[in-house]
Amino acid sequence: MLVGGRPVAGRVIVVVVLTVLTVLGVLTGCGGADVEDAPPPAYDPPTGFAAPTGSLFVGSGTRVFGRDADDLPAALVGTAVWATDGGRVLRVDSTGAEIPGPAAPPGRHAAGRPVATGDGAVLVGAASVVPGSGTTPPGLSVELLAFDAATGALRWSAPTVLPWADRPPAVALRVAGVVAGVAVLTAGTDTRRTALGVDLTSHAVLWTADGVAVDAVLADGPAGGTALGVATTPGQSRAYASSTVVGLDVVTGLRRFDGEVLRGPEITPAGPGLAVVSGRTAATTLTAPSASLRFVDARGATVRTVDVGRSYTPPRCVWDEAATTVCGGDARVFAVDATTAAPLWELPDPAANRVAPQLTTAWHGAVYGTTVNGPVVLDARTGADRDTRPGAAPVLVNAHLGVGAEATGVAGFGGGAVIIPAVR
């Protein structure tokens, strides 16, 4: 190459080399600063998982003694796992290593599954003893703790004293969700339970409902909502006594409706304004089982009733947090629309030579489960096989991670749960 009639090839090489060195200097940073790690890839939804990279709820200190996905006190928030175990609030990475930050205030015993909110907070329930004095026995306080999802710092807390008392480790805590700017928390034992609503703006406890356990919150219009739960007579067990399905106004706590009476009732979200109500009817006996499963809206109206046959245990249902709810039992899996409860598909399908998988969870249009062939992922809207070799069947999943049950052992006795990164 000629510039002004003179060769400058050597200069061009020097300029190129200097430019490359300059770019490398920018990439590596000045003064030896480290390059920030690129965020892990996101798959929405994931259909493939790597081998486990970490564990949860293992060792002698854990207080988790089961592997039921509905009761697992963990939640996936971005690339981290938030959990409660032994009264502590934990945030761990994909290796199971604890990330410093979240800590319940002194004397608080945290329990239940954390719940992420749209404003970057993670909500956790906690209980503590109210000291007694003289002839006044100790009491029980419960509070909603709000942590920053990014830093783990405690943003605020909202405490209230309950009308009954017990040791905090014996008190189960459940954040049912958030709707209309109100979070609903339930504290309970086998024989007592109280629900409370907390305003997420003022951090004030708006209402308490003794004798009621709230399992789901449903939207009802642009500024309203229903806390859907179960009312059981104090002193009786929800698992065995007859209980009434009730709906409370999420802002005021006032009773909106009373529904059917069931034994062992279970309520799970089936969509933004829809819930699954299941249980055993009063006519149920060991020789004549009579289970019930209905889809109800925020006003308590039955949208659809499902025939579950002569069953003692109704199917378990999971909303995929998008458009579909999937229900699965011992030998049957079916899906409905999360807005209308209209049927979409059902397995097994003898005509197509297809069996029903054991449902583990569903998320964003994907259904996860297992068959005799191993883990499988189905399409939530059609039921078609989406991936026949996903590598795992998680019980919790988001775009980055899954949490699955340990292949051997029981949580608390050498087993627990495993963390499985999404790879496709």
The per-residue pLDDT for range 342-366, each reduced to its tens digit, is 999 999 999 999 999 999 999 999 9
Quickly tell me which residue has 């000291």 as its tokens: 131
Q: What's residue 407's pLDDT?
A: 55
How much is the mean pLDDT over the chain?
88
C-beta neighbour count of 410 within 10 angstroms: 14
Give mean pLDDT, residues 235-243.
91
Give mean pLDDT, residues 26-50.
68
Q: What's residue 40's pLDDT?
A: 74
Q: What is the pTM of this model?
A: 0.88
The closest alpha carbon to 356, from 366, 346, 364, 365, belongs to 346
88 has a pLDDT exceeding 90:
yes
pLDDT digits (tens, 9 = 90+) for 121-133: 999 999 999 999 9
Cα–Cα dist 316/43, whole Å = 26
Give mean pLDDT, residues 236-243.
91
Domain spans in the chain, listed from the N-terminal domain onward = 42-72+317-424
Q: What's residue 307's pLDDT?
A: 87
26 has a pLDDT exceeding 50:
no
Q: What's residue 311's pLDDT?
A: 74
Q: What's residue 319's pLDDT?
A: 98
388 has a pLDDT exceeding 50:
yes
Q: Cβ distance 123 to 114 under 8 Å?
A: yes
Q: Cβ distance 394 to 30 under 8 Å?
A: no
Residues in the chain: 424
pLDDT digits (tens, 9 = 90+) for 319-345: 999 999 999 988 899 999 999 999 999
pLDDT classification of 419: cutoffs 50, 70, 90:
very high
